[in-house]
Amino acid sequence: MKHGKLYGFGAVFLIVLTLAGLYIYDPAIFSNSQQNTTLSISQINVDPQGSPVGNEWKGSFWNLLVYVNANDDIAGVILPKGQTGSITYQGAVEALKTGAKVEIKIDPQQPYLIRDLQEKYAMPAPGAVGVATSTTQLDLRYYGWGEATWRIYTPFTVSIYKDGVLVGQTTLNDQGQSSVQSVSTSEGAVRIENLGLLGGSYTSPNTPSQICILKGYPNVYDLTQVNSIISGTYGNYWFGTRREGNNVAVNPTMVYPGLLIGNVYPPSTIGGWKSLNSGGSDVGGKVDPVKPVISSGEKSSLPSDKQKYSSLTEYIAGSGIADLANSLFQSRAAGFSGALWQKVSLVTDTNGQTALKLDIPWSAFGTPLVNIRVPTELADTFVEQPIVTSTQVSAVWQTSGTAYGDISGSLRIACTVTNTGTVTGSTMLSVSSGNSKLSLTPLTQTVNNLQPNVPQTVYFDATNLGVENEISNIPVTIIAKDTYTGSETGRCTLYGTLLSTLTPGTTTLSINVYEKGTTTPAPNLQLSVQYGTQTLTPVTDANGGTGGLTLTTPQGGAFVGSVLITSMETSTYKAGTMTYQINQAGAYIATYEVERKDTQYIDWVLIAIIVIIVVVFVAIIGGGVYALRKNKHGGKHR
């Protein structure tokens, strides 16, 4: 009974070891935590189908085009209450609006690959008969493939809420491919397309065509490599090759008086036999068999002098056959450069079969566009009767208070919009001009909550981008359109004159740099040339010149004004600065002088330092010599 409990505990322990040996983690990507995110909708429209039933719209869908991110976040997609859309029905445009809020909650489950296994049997070593005892055969249970290919699962739990109330829920599985699946509700099915689509060329792992997963042991082999060993070769190693009857191993050192029969293998050289004679001699063939074990962890059950022989897994390793448990699933899938498989485990499949399961990392997913189609009935969609907002538009230049303005830099337009209707509405304003040198911002503005007969003022900025010659009375037009129908409801025009801001022609400046009071050029000297808001940093050539520097304004005209020239301190020259004035466009040459540093003073200081060092050095040496002589002289008188 005690042995039975011990063996039962050992079996459980070995199963745990098997699962532990098959677990492979990538800590960079493996996480049990999930975040709640709201996915942005890039496009919403209504399918051109269905018809009005009373004030409601039936038989169509709201299309929501969203990006699903490549992680395990719980994502929410919301079709808000009050969402508007339009559809053409019998030649007329119908305005639709949702009367309920619909939320689609997408909770991704762990995606995985799975492949059924089939339990198989092998007999690595036969039973054996000795003088006093016998042993049973060594049985080996292992798993081979139970199906030809891997199956892929990309499950998502999708929940549908209407105004906060759960109205439908199911788990979808796109199997990593493009598909259309649905979640049923009492008001129609929500259809979801491309959810769970794997990105790139993500494929199943490169596994052997035949596999051998030892049941209860953390060992995995290519079956084609170990088949002969687990089918009898190991038994020959352990017991020798002599068999009788129904493949039963017998003593290979059977000894009769004066005659040897069989292969002569003394028990001391074979793991499978132990001598019954005192002192371990082989006389008389008195031997009993020793049953082999599968793993090295079980060798403690063998006699001490037999533990030096190989268990089955040790014999396989000694034959140069690799154990794939720790390497087989660490290689990346073909054509996939992302993370490793997250976890490998033995599980029970839905059909009751033992299966090998590989969790797929979330990075295997692309960011596909997912199309979600919500029935118009579920969103309580109704036909909205639009009321066009009537507007009156007027505008002036803020500086002059009139429709005429002179623009040298920027000038603001004040635009007043008045709703002349009877209900609150909204309008969109757009502004344009016929000249590319006149920049207008913003180009459009929407004025919401436009109450009847309550004027609202918005502003546009006009900027002169730079002209050499004045351009008078450029028309600037502001148009008001109803935000729903897009029909024009008002417009006004004002006029702007672009004043000349660019000096015609070209300004160039050449700078010649000399040492102060001489005509000696200062080569390889970097200068800073600042003009207006701009800076150049030329370096002088071998003749101390910069060549012609072209000075232009940010608008592209010739620069006119003050130029600040600066040189930084170097090992040869002191820092310096000067101002040069340019009064009109043209070619200019400026002379800039730099002052050399006074090296004479530095030379005398350096000489003085060297003299001091020499004097101190001589004093130290002289004192040391004197002390040495004094010590020697004093020693003679002792």
Residue 620 has pLDDT above 60, yes or no: yes
Give residue 387's pLDDT: 60
Q: Is the pLDDT of residue 315 over 50?
A: yes
Q: What is the CA radius of gyration of the chain?
A: 47
Alpha-carbon distance of 45 to 303, in angstroms, equals: 80
Q: For residue 24, which of 329, 423, 240, 316 has the smallest C-alpha distance?
A: 329
**Sole residue written with tokens 């079956």:** 223
How far CA 471 is from CA of 439, 467, 500, 502, 556, in Å, comes to 14, 8, 8, 13, 17
Q: Is residue 420 within 8 Å of residue 445, measured between CB atoms?
A: no
What is the per-residue pLDDT for 78?
85
**Confidence category of residue 255, pLDDT binned at 50, 70, 90:** very low
Whether residue 616 has pLDDT greater than 50: yes
The pLDDT score that the predictor gives to residue 370 is 77
| Bridge partner list, 249 | 128, 243
Asked if 287 and 258 count as a contact pair (C-beta separation under 8 A), the reply is: no
Start-to-end C-alpha separation, the chain: 99
CB 148 within 8 A of CB 156: no
What digits encode the pLDDT tens for the residues 89-144?
Answer: 887 778 888 889 998 888 777 778 889 999 999 999 999 988 888 999 999 999 99
**How are strands ordered across the β-sheet holding 180-183?**
41-46, 61-67, 369-375, 190-193, 180-183
pLDDT attached to residue 9:
33
139 phi and psi angles, rounded to 5 deg: -95, 145
Under the banding of pLDDT at 50, 70 and 90, the label for residue 337 is very low
Which amino acid makes up residue 135?
A: T
- In this structure, of 131-135, 257-261, 324-328, the range with the lowest mean pLDDT score is 257-261
pLDDT (0 to 100) of residue 17: 30
User: Which pLDDT belongs to residue 562?
Assistant: 92
Check pLDDT > 70 for residue 19: no
Q: Per residue in 31-60, pLDDT tens?
A: 334 445 555 566 788 888 888 876 788 888
State the Cα–Cα distance between residues 581 and 574, nearest whole angstrom: 23
Helix (H) or strand (E) holding 79: strand 74-79
Q: How many CA atoms lie within 13 A of 521 on its CB side?
A: 13
The pLDDT-based confidence of 335 (bands split at 50, 70, 90) is very low
Residues 6+ apart with CB under 8 A from 258: none
160's enclosing H/E stretch is strand 155-162
pLDDT of 155 higher than 90: no
Q: What is the pLDDT of residue 171?
A: 83
CA dist 230 and 211 (Å) reads: 13
Q: In this predicted model, which residue has the larger pLDDT, 366 or 77?
A: 77
360, two tokens: 């797929």
Q: What is the mean pLDDT of residues 528-542?
A: 92
The residue type found at 52 is: P
Domains in the chain with CATH codes: 31-111+154-199+365-375 (no CATH), 118-146+206-343 (no CATH), 391-498 (2.60.40.10), 507-594 (2.60.40.1120)
Lowest mean pLDDT among 19-23, 255-259, 614-618: 19-23
As a whole number of angstroms, the distance between CA 501 and CA 469 comes to 8
Task: Give exposure, 15-54, as e/b (b: 16+ Cβ within 10 Å).
Answer: eebbeebbebebeeeeeeeeeeeebebeebebeeebebee
pLDDT bucket at 456, cuts 50 / 70 / 90: very high
pLDDT value for 629? 66
Determine the distance from the C-alpha atom of residue 9 to the mean position of all C-alpha atoms in its chain, rounded to a whole number.
45
Burial class (CB in 10 A: 0-12, 13-18, 19+), 453: exposed
Which string of DSSP letters, residue by residue, matches 175-195? TTS--EEEE--TT-PEEEEST
Query: Residue 184 pLDDT more than 60?
Result: yes
Binning pLDDT at 50, 70 and 90, where does residue 8 land? very low
Q: What is the pTM of this model?
A: 0.47
Q: List the single range of 330-334, 354-358, 595-599 with lowest mean pLDDT.
A: 330-334
